[in-house]
Amino acid sequence: MATWTSRGLRGSALEDYINHTNEQYRNKGLALIQKIPTPITPVRIDKEHRHITLAYFDQRSTVDYIGAVQGIPVCFDAKECAADTFPLQNVHRHQVEFMEEFERQGGIAFLLILYTGRTELYYMRFQELKRFWERMEKGGRKSIRYEELDPEFFFTLKNGCMVPYLDEIQKDLDKRE
């Protein structure tokens, strides 16, 4: 059972950048994307400091973010990777299944991966994730090498804190046509 003190609930620079970006997109009327809170049940609370010190997950979460961009349903998950190899264990089966169902309903699903060692972001289209996932399920690599990724979908932070993922969504849409 995962708990509040597990790695999954620590603060993330990438999520802070995405939250800031989402606020900017909303203010400009470009997109309405919300962070999906992970439902938890507190087990231990530090009453003096009014902090939860231990909790457990009520249910599996789906993805980190969901919303709409110019009328198009969008969902995505944010991941960070220190090495040039992204372990597929960082993505859970229920997330892949949710993203697949989301795409079947006409939405766009993707991962945003921050390669912290390179300070580069990668927009991984769901179809690409699915291809790597199926390779793993057939007994292949359980990770994705940096060199295997589509160079067209690498990008960097804008103004030091904006994650311009709308540009990447446009590229994704263009490839689907």
Amino acid (1-letter code) at residue 165: Y
**How confident is residue 62, by pLDDT bands cut at 50, 70 and 90?**
confident
- List, as residue ranges, the binding site: 62, 64, 77, 95
Mean pLDDT of 52-61: 58
Whether the model clears a pTM of 0.85, i.e. scores above it, the answer is no
Domains and CATH numbers, the chain: 7-176 (3.40.1350.10)
Q: How far apart are CA 125 and CA 110, in angstroms?
A: 5
Pairing label, strands 108-115, 85-87: unpaired
- List, as residue ranges, the binding site for Mg(2+): 62, 64, 77, 95
- Out of 2-16, 18-32, 98-112, which region has the weakest mean confidence (pLDDT)? 2-16
| Nearest alpha carbon to residue 124 among 87, 150, 95 | 150
pLDDT digits (tens, 9 = 90+) for 74-101: 999 999 999 999 999 999 999 999 999 9
